[in-house]
Amino acid sequence: MSNDLETISSILKCEDKPLLEKVLDAITVFDSLDLSEKYHLAFSGGKDSHALLIVFLLWQRIRDVETHNFRLFFADTLIETRLLYELISAIQNSLNTISLEILYSEQSYWFYQFAIGYPVPNWKNRWCTYYLKIKPQDRVKKGGMVITGRHYGESFARDSRLRSKEKGCSTGECGIDKIKSSIDPIINFRNCDVWDLIFYADETILYKGVFNALTATYNNATDEKGSLRMGCIMCPVVSVNTLKADLFRHSFVGIRDILEELRNSKRINSARTKKKGAIYIGDRRIMWQKLNKELLLGLGYITQSEIELISECLESDYSYPKTYTREWIDSEHQRLARQTIYTDLPLFKYAE
């Protein structure tokens, strides 16, 4: 035990004993793994996944183990910030004992939002994370156990979910909390431990400059409530003020304004739950015309083929989730056509 602490201290050039002990605890989790099994390291490019990668690389070096059954994945939403893409590229170019594999979703965010008509994501319904982040990884992990960088200390709500993760995520929030069965080596780290570890890993375990490169992406990342999430360029879940305060993402506030208009559009009921479901296609057509596709196209956040595909889908009245039958869509369109500004009054509700 003491020899391991000394070795870690020597590699990281760190004398912070409490931090070294937490790192050793995390390495012990890797020691306990059955190396005949397959493992999937989730890498989002954020601070926590960097900390997880550092622990993995330390374990690899200290134990001199064969890790061919470990795979490192980054699920690219294709709408990440330029700074995050730079971080991913830097990691790809600097790793030599494991490669970072890039995964993509079957369709883009814009397709799911406009062509299919899913409701604009909010903190309770982050379907975008499932389709763009989780599902691509599910396709390739093939039964391997997921290893994550989640940990306590980011927020009371997340701590509560982590303490009861075997029950699943009762809030409906997606993200990393959607992974119900996982290995979490740095679970007992706090945000300060994560940042300290990244600082000591700079030019020791990871490439020179990683600390400054990563903190640059979190230039608006802490407040009295804790660490805010890194998000996509126009993330519909964070506040508009958060986007405006970001040095890069404020350029996409106009895109976000369109999504907010779309959020307030008419919706037809879900064929399964009979509650508000997909966005009415007529409103999607209007918002698609308003969307600044030239900006997205010029910066590489959408392709011409995507624009053409979505436009083609929107020409059909039946561009909805697969669970919506043509008969159901027709009946819901008729219901929307009958609606007036008075429909929500008690007398009209009773009449229906």
* Local confidence band at 115 (pLDDT 50, 70, 90 cut-offs): very high
Question: Residue range 150-175: average pLDDT?
Answer: 51
For helices 17-31 and 47-63, angle between their N-to-C axes, nearest 10 degrees: 70
* Helix, strand, coil percentages for the chain (3-state, nearest 5): 50, 10, 40
pLDDT tens digits, 68-97 = 999 999 999 999 999 899 999 999 999 999
> Which one is the CATH code of 2-113+124-225: 2.30.30.90, 3.40.605.10, 3.40.50.11260, 3.40.50.620?
3.40.50.620
> What does 91-106 look like in DSSP terms, one character per residue?
HHHH-SSSPEEEEE-S
Place of tokens 């000394």: 6
Mean pLDDT, the chain, rounded, equals 87
* Residue with more model confidence, 240 or 262: 262
Residue 219 has pLDDT above 80, yes or no: no
Question: CA 148 → CA 84, 134, 296, distances in Å?
Answer: 18, 12, 31
Percent with pLDDT over 70 in the chain: 85
Distance of CA 324 to the CA centre of its chain: 27
Query: Which 8-state DSSP code applies to residue 119?
Result: P
Find, among 144, 126, 133, 131, the residue nearest to 102 by Cα: 133
Place of tokens 């890498």: 43
pLDDT of residue 152: 82
Residue 122 has pLDDT above 70, yes or no: yes
Percent with pLDDT over 90 in the chain: 72
* Residue with more model confidence, 129 or 242: 129
Residue 11 has pLDDT above 90, yes or no: yes
b/e string for 287-320 if b means 16 or more Cβ within 10 A?
Answer: bbeebebeebeeeebbeeebbebbeebbeeeebb
Residue 158 has pLDDT above 80, yes or no: no
* Residue with more model confidence, 103 or 157: 103
Q: How many CB atoms lie within 10 A of CB 36?
A: 6
Question: Residue range 308-322: average pLDDT?
Answer: 96
* Local confidence band at 341 (pLDDT 50, 70, 90 cut-offs): low
Burial class (CB in 10 A: 0-12, 13-18, 19+), 131: buried
Question: Residue range 184-199: average pLDDT?
Answer: 96
pLDDT of residue 344: 62
pLDDT tens digits, 133-151 = 999 988 887 778 999 999 8
Question: Residue range 54-77: average pLDDT?
Answer: 95
- Domain chopping of the chain, boundaries: 2-113+124-225, 240-340
